[in-house]
Amino acid sequence: MSLLVDLALWVIVVILGLVAASRSQSLCIDALRGGLRDFVQLLPRIAVGVIGSGYLAALLPQPLIAGWLGPNSGITGFVLAAIAGALTPGGPVVGFALASTALKSGAATPQVIAYTIAWALFALQRVVIYEVPMMPPRVVWLRVLVSLPLPFLAAWVALMVGKP
């Protein structure tokens, strides 16, 4: 499955490159340079996140993670995962590395889904630093309020879909 996803992504990249080249050679070259620059800048961060999550998974007490976020943690696990997601600072390298670490340490898939959804929607530092200063606070808090059920809904759907 992973190979299929990789192949599909490369096909999309080639198609986009061909479209850019058909519009303008300079557009294609500029896009390639920008993409390579981003790749070179992100690669070390991704490597640190992936390798760091491996070390973190080895160091975390698996019975503790499995107890708090494992398959038998129920709604308490969903709530803890959602709170942890909202409190996790940083970008995707941090958020997904921690989610990967939790999975390796015995956390259940629905709990990790609750974590990642909460991290994506409610990262507290992002809400306070970016949203509140740029939008009316009423809009921000209304967005947060109407989004509150989403981590739990996603976890519940994952729980239902994952059952045989």
Could you tell me if residue 130 is inside a domain? yes
Backbone angles phi, psi at 163, to 5 degrees: -75, 140
Instruction: Provide the domain limits for residue 123.
Output: 58-161
Residues in the chain, how many?
164
Q: Report the pLDDT value the prediction gives residue 15, as an integer from 0 to 100.
A: 95
Quick one: CA dihedral 125, 128, 130, 131, positive or negative? positive
Closest alpha carbon to 110 in 80, 135, 88, 133: 80
Q: Report the pLDDT value the prediction gives residue 93, as an integer from 0 to 100.
A: 79
Could you tell me if residue 42 is inside a domain? no
Could you tell me if residue 116 is inside a domain? yes
* Tally of structural domains, the chain: 1
Question: Which portions of the chain are predicted below pLDDT 50?
Answer: 164
pTM assigned to the model: 0.75
Could you tell me if residue 8 is inside a domain? no
Cβ–Cβ < 8 Å for 46, 80: no
Q: Report the pLDDT value the prediction gives residue 110, as an integer from 0 to 100.
A: 96
Could you tell me if residue 20 is inside a domain? no
Q: Report the pLDDT value the prediction gives residue 164, as an integer from 0 to 100.
A: 47
